[in-house]
Every structure is written in C-alpha cells, then in structure tokens.
Structure 1
Amino acid sequence: MDHKQLKYFLGLAETLHFGRASEQCHISAPTLSRQIKQLEQELGVALFIRDNRSVSLTAQGKAFVEYARTTLSQWRQFKSQCQDSRQPLSGELSFYCSVTATYSFVYDLFAQFRQQYPAIELNLNTGDPAFSIAHVQNDKEDLAVAVKPTHLPNGISYLPLGRSPLVIIAPTMACPLSDLLDSNVNGVMEWSQLPFIMPEHGILKERLDTFCTELQFTPKVYAHVSGHEAMVALASLGFGIACIPEIVLAQSPFKEQVRYLTVSEPMEPIEVGLVCKTKRLTDPVVAVLWKTAENLFTL
C-alpha cells in the first residue's frame, strides 16, 4: 500500500460517498473505487460495505481509520524532519476552523504564513468549531481554531487568538416571534415562552445551559443546529432566538436582519484559540505555523 491509498481511504471513510470523496481527493470515482479495491485486496479484508444506496465502514475499516491517520501523520512529520535546512521549508498542513474564523483569524495568519513559507501546502477544512479539538486529537487535522473549553484535554497545546462576548439575537422581520417580543411591555423577558435555536455541542451549549439554569427555566427548543452561522440564519427568519458569539454576527450576511435582546446578567465571553497536539509541535512544518500565530496574536 502507498500513502495516496491511505488518503483515498480516509477521504471515503469520512464522507462515505464515492462522489464527494473523489472530488475531495481530486480523482475520478472509478479511480477511487479501484484504489480502494486494491487496498482491500492487499489487506485481505473488506474495509467498506457497498450497495446501490450507501457506503459504510466494516469493523476492520473502522479500526483501519486510526492506523491510516497515524501513519500519514508520522510520515509528514518524518519528511519535515529530513528536509535540508539549506532549502525552503516544504510540506503540507491540514487546518480546521469555522467559516467565521476564516475571516476573523485565519485570513491574516495564512496571509503572513504564505509570504514566509510559500512551499508549504495549506489544506483548510471548515465546520462546526465544537469538533475542532476532537479533529486534532484524532489526527484528522494538524491544527484547528477552537473555542477554549472549561478543561483543556491532556496533550493539547493552546494559543489564545481572541475573545468574543456572547449575545442573544432575535429577528427584526415581522413574524409571530417579533410580535411576542414586542408585546413584552413590563420589561421582564419571559424566556420560557420563547423558542430557542440551540447549539448541538460545545462550550456555547454549556454557556446557554448555565444561563437557563440560573434563570430557572427550561427552554422551548425549536431546533438543534450544528454551526454558529446557521443559527444566525434561522434566527433572522424568525424560527427562534439564538445565543451566538458576537464575532459570528459581525461577519454574518444576516446581521442587519437580527437585533439584540437585553440580558440582565451577560454570559461569560468565549475565548478562541489555536489548538494542536503538543507532540506535533516537534514537526518543523507545524512549529513554524504555530510560531507565526504567536508572533501575530501576541504583539
């Protein structure tokens, strides 16, 4: 087996879809299928269960995911350490963050990094920040931008990038939710009567759960949503109110379609930072990006 086959395997294991995986790996679907079959033949086991409608991992396939991620991570680190110090540093990095973070933190970081290390390939993946630390722990990504948790896991290094207040937003459009909010004439918010757009995971959910507990009410949940940007969109359409980091709203195309709700006791702000496995900082390619971030965000 070669390292390209391991990349193809992980692409299919993550998407469980030959079309999406082939696009992600920049090969055709038939080529991907052929490479997976060759890998299975070499291993002597089936890694995937395929039918006309779905793809799923076998028990052996699930076990092979960890092997593939670890092998590729160690291979990248070994290649970095073997580079000639007289030559420009080269290699590749995988980086995970939310869409908002690409504007607020990552753009300036990547702009400076690309100027200093043009031979290093950056692979950027976006998604729910609640998964950032897990992606790094599982070697799915080299580095990620994450909301700092209450307790940082062992073996994870953290570099603060910034802070953001948490705000509760509601729609500005005419709708039943706006009517309910506007009928509040005594100035006391009846939180238990309002529909909430709730985050599925992460520190934001913890903050909101604490808020509800302190005010002694159980929220009426309209929907659980993965991703802060989607929460702003649903709130702007009047489906419910949402608690989000203010930095998300600042970058949202829907910021003019929502309004702030007054909170008597503001929630604790969140802190956003760069995370990486501590042992991965010995990789020269990972280390120079970390150093670039230190210089950029600690001035």
Structure 2
Amino acid sequence: MMDLRTLQLFEHLATSLHFGKTAEALFVSPPTLSRAIKRLEEEVGAPLLVRDNRSVKLTAAGEQMQRFAQETLQQWQNTKLGIHQQAQQLAGELSLFCSVTASYSHLPAILDSFRHRHPQAEIRLTTGDPALSIEKVVQEQADMAIAVHSPDMPKHLYFQPLDTLPLVMICPVGYRVGRLEQIDWRTMPMVMPDSGPSKRIVHHWLAEKGIRPKIYASVSGHEAIVSMVALGCGIGIVPRPVVENSVVLDKVSVIALDHIESFRLGLCCLQQRVAEPLINALLEQA
C-alpha cells in the first residue's frame, strides 16, 4: 500500500535519477529502495522508470506520478505546519499595567501585532500613575508593566527598552512664556511630581541649575501635572508625549530643556518569568 515514505523515495529518485544517490540521501539500502519502487509500480499498474546499467529515466506514467508525489508531499508539509501553528497558539490571560498616555502612545502598536499572532490570549489592562509600574510588577499585582528605567531598579526585574522620551517644560498659555530665560523663579509657581523617576530627574535638574522653585503643589501622574498647568496653577516638567497626547494641549506652551535626563521607557517583568510563553511572546512583539 502506498505511503508517504514511498512517495518521498520515489520523488527523490525521480529528481536524482540515480538509485545510489537516493538511497544514500534518504538512508535506505539500494535493495530496499528498489523493492519500494517495484511495489509502487505494481500498485499503480504501470512502469514508472526505465532502467538499464547506465541510466534511469521516467516513463510518461513516471512523470505523472512525480507531479502527484510533489503535490502530495507539499500538501502534507503544509498540513503539518498548520496543525503545529494551531497547537502553538497561546491562550490565557496576561495582566499589564501602564500610564494612560502609554496606553495610546506606545501600547496599541504592540498589542495589535500580539493579538494578530495570538488571538486566543487575553490582555487585562490597568492604567494609573507610572510611578507605580515597577511596584505593581514586584508585588505581582501585574504580570508586566510599561515602566521608566531608573538607577535603583531592582536587579530581579527584566527591562526591555521601547523608547526614549525627552522631558519638556510646560507653561499656561496665559503666562506668555516661550523661553526658559523668561521665567522668574522667585515668583513663578511650579507643579512638582511627588514620586517616581520624574521626581528624581526634576529635582536633580533644578539643583544643577541652582533653582529653588516656588512649589504650588506636588501631584501624582504626569497627566495631572499637565491639567494643573493648563488651569494656570503654575509651570511643570513632563515627558513630551504626555503633552502631545493631552486634550488640553492648546492651553499650554512647551519649552525644550537642555541637559535634562530623558525617560527610558520599556516593558518590565520579573526575571524569573521572562521565559513564560505569554510574557515571552509580548516581549517579542516589542
């Protein structure tokens, strides 16, 4: 009875036209190869090869059988690949934490690709203050998070960079301030971040400039800083994408800052979980 192995032997022989080469390439003895071809000829009811001491040629039936073997073996490979890919589809739920801004500035591109490749996997998204991102992962309240890298990041965390975000100063448009030199730090109120990497970076930049800000308020979240600045409460320093994606963009003016550390944005998870299928798949998409 014809089987895939017999078709493989015949398809190779029909191409090589040499019993010795086919036997060696497919790890069978020449007598075994000859018996397989003879059984195939008996089954189809016609000679497939013309053989003499010097050459091997395909008969008309052999040429027809060669096309059949090639098509059948290709279909078999395609079927195996499809079954394998289906079996490899990931399923389950992955919890992800990020800021509101990151949820529409960086996350969509990652998730679009991820969901296309793994339609059975579910992402449970939670948004909040980016200063909490690392804590959420460490406390295992989230499987992964979009976070900002910091020098004191725990060593048992894995961090995969996504983007570099410059920090800018924002002012209420009513202040009519367009340059850093126009700011009178003795009277100008400032809205400060109360936690996270931006607190360290902003305080360090102010100290290097020898500036003692007149603090109006310390708040959580960059979006909250932008909102308070838009309301005229003072000036602030935030990542540029937060301003560019804000609904109050037209109510603030932006001043570029030199010599201030940028945010290194990335995906993070516990080192010990990097190899987990869902986590590894999302890291690959990033």
TM range (shorter): 0.5 to 0.7
CA deviation profile, 1:200-226 (whole Å, cap 9, x unmatched): 111111111012211223221111111
**For 1:284 and 1:187, how far apart are their aligned partners in 2?**
52
**For 1:91 and 1:199, how far apart are their aligned partners in 2?**
36
**For 2:207 and 2:128, how far apart are their aligned partners in 1?**
28
Answer yes or no: is 1:216 the counterpart of 2:210. yes
Paired residues for 1:20-169 under 5 Å: 86=87, 88-169=89-170
**For 1:167 and 1:215, how far apart are their aligned partners in 2?**
15
1:97–1:187 CA distance, 2 compared to 1 (3 A): closer
**For 1:193 and 1:207, how far apart are their aligned partners in 2?**
22
Asked if 2 retains the 8 angstrom alpha-carbon contact of 1:150 and 1:203, the reply is no
Give unpaired runs (5+ residues) of structure 2: 1-84
Q: How many residue pairs were aligned?
A: 202
1:143–1:262 CA distance, 2 compared to 1 (3 A): closer
**For 1:150 and 1:203, how far apart are their aligned partners in 2?**
9
SS in 2 for 1:213: helix
One-letter amino acid of the structure 2 residue matched with residue 274 of structure 1: L
**For 1:288 and 1:219, how far apart are their aligned partners in 2?**
45
Task: Choose from 185, 196, 199 the match for 2:193.
Answer: 199
1:166–1:87 CA distance, 2 compared to 1 (3 A): closer
CA deviation profile, 1:94-122 (whole Å, cap 9, x unmatched): 00000110111101111111111111111
Q: Tell me the CA shift for residue 197 of structure 1.
A: 0.8
Asked if 2 retains the 8 angstrom alpha-carbon contact of 1:170 and 1:259, the reply is yes
**For 1:86 and 1:272, how far apart are their aligned partners in 2?**
34
**For 2:124 and 2:237, how far apart are their aligned partners in 1?**
30
Give the number of the structure whose alpha-carbon radius of gyration is greater.
2
Task: Tell me what 2:263 maps to.
Answer: 270
1:147–1:192 CA distance, 2 compared to 1 (3 A): farther
Answer yes or no: is 1:249 the counterpart of 2:243. yes
Task: Tell me what 1:279 maps to.
Answer: 272
1:187–1:203 CA distance, 2 compared to 1 (3 A): closer
One-letter amino acid of the structure 1 residue matched with residue 119 of structure 2: P
**For 1:192 and 1:113, how far apart are their aligned partners in 2?**
50
Task: Choose from 186, 189, 194 the match for 2:183.
Answer: 189
Task: Tell me what 2:35 maps to.
Answer: none
SS in 1 for 2:207: helix
One-letter amino acid of the structure 2 residue matched with residue 163 of structure 1: T
Asked if 2 retains the 8 angstrom alpha-carbon contact of 1:232 and 1:249, the reply is yes
Asked if 2 retains the 8 angstrom alpha-carbon contact of 1:196 and 1:242, the reply is yes
**For 1:154 and 1:249, how far apart are their aligned partners in 2?**
32
**For 2:156 and 2:238, how far apart are their aligned partners in 1?**
29
Report the RMSD for the aligned CA atoms in angstroms: 2.2
Select between 232-241 and 277-286 the one with higher mean Cα deviation.
277-286
1:267–1:116 CA distance, 2 compared to 1 (3 A): same
Give unpaired runs (5+ residues) of structure 1: 1-83, 294-299
SS in 2 for 1:239: coil
SS in 2 for 1:282: coil
1:224–1:161 CA distance, 2 compared to 1 (3 A): same
1:187–1:287 CA distance, 2 compared to 1 (3 A): closer
One-letter amino acid of the structure 2 residue matched with residue 240 of structure 1: G
Answer yes or no: is 1:237 the counterpart of 2:231. yes
One-letter amino acid of the structure 2 residue matched with residue 267 of structure 1: I
1:276–1:162 CA distance, 2 compared to 1 (3 A): same
| Identical-residue share of aligned pairs (%) | 36
One-letter amino acid of the structure 2 residue matched with residue 244 of structure 1: V
1:163–1:283 CA distance, 2 compared to 1 (3 A): same
1:195–1:117 CA distance, 2 compared to 1 (3 A): same
TM-score (norm 2): 0.66
Asked if 2 retains the 8 angstrom alpha-carbon contact of 1:97 and 1:144, the reply is yes
